[in-house]
């Protein structure tokens, strides 16, 4: 893991914990934590919509994309993006998030169930992560090249 990912995770987790914000790590970082090998491009996580203001109060100087509703790259959600020491962090609001199927273009609700989060140690940092099966499910719908790589690795790793 790169030092910038580790520094950003430590910084962000400190804020999340201090404000008692429930979160769930998803995306490529979750895939890596569950045994994938792709390089981490960004840190993706979800929080409850009601916790956005608590977090925004701490991160204003790092915002590179303001909190808004975006429909892009197969996603329909509210999120904001941070850049902390050259590390991109994308924080989505869990309510009403949808993902688009690569197969037929249909939109599917993405339910983030925080109570299902699994505690994982990653490079000495305790994180709450999406369960591997849920990760595979939504990556199958998205079906992007990176998702197919993650699915192949995660399916192989969980079978072995």
Query: What is the average pLDDT across 138-151?
Result: 94
Q: What's the pLDDT score for residue 1?
A: 54
Task: Name the pLDDT band for 157 (thresholds 50, 70, 90).
Answer: low
- Span 30-78, pLDDT tens digits: 999 999 998 999 999 999 999 999 999 999 999 999 999 999 999 999 9
Quickly tell me which residue has 């197919």 as its tokens: 148
Contact call for residues 47 and 93 (beta carbons, < 8 A): yes
Question: What is the pTM assigned to this prediction?
Answer: 0.94
Domain range summary for the chain, segments of one domain joined by +: 3-159
Q: Which CATH number fits domain 3-159: 3.40.50.1100, 3.40.50.300, 3.90.1150.10, 3.30.460.40?
A: 3.30.460.40
Rounded Cα–Cα distance for residues 82 and 104 (Å): 32
């Amino acid at each position: 893991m790169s030092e910038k990912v580790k520094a950003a995770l430590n910084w962000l987790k400190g804020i999340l914990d201090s404000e008692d914000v429930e979160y769930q790590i998803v995306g490529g970082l979750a895939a890596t934590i569950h045994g994938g090998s792709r390089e981490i491009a960004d840190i993706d996580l979800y929080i409850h919509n009601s916790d956005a203001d608590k977090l925004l109060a701490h991160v204003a100087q790092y915002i590179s994309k303001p909190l808004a509703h975006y429909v892009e790259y197969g996603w329909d959600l509210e999120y904001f993006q941070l850049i902390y020491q050259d590390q991109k962090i994308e924080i989505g609001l869990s309510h009403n998030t949808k993902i688009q199927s690569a197969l037929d273009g249909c939109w599917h609700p993405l339910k983030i169930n925080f109570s299902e989060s699994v505690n994982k140690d990653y490079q000495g940092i305790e994180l709450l992560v999406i369960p591997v099966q849920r990760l595979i499910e939504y990556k199958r719908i998205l079906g992007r090249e990176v998702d197919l790589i993650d699915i192949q690795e995660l399916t192989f790793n969980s079978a072995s």
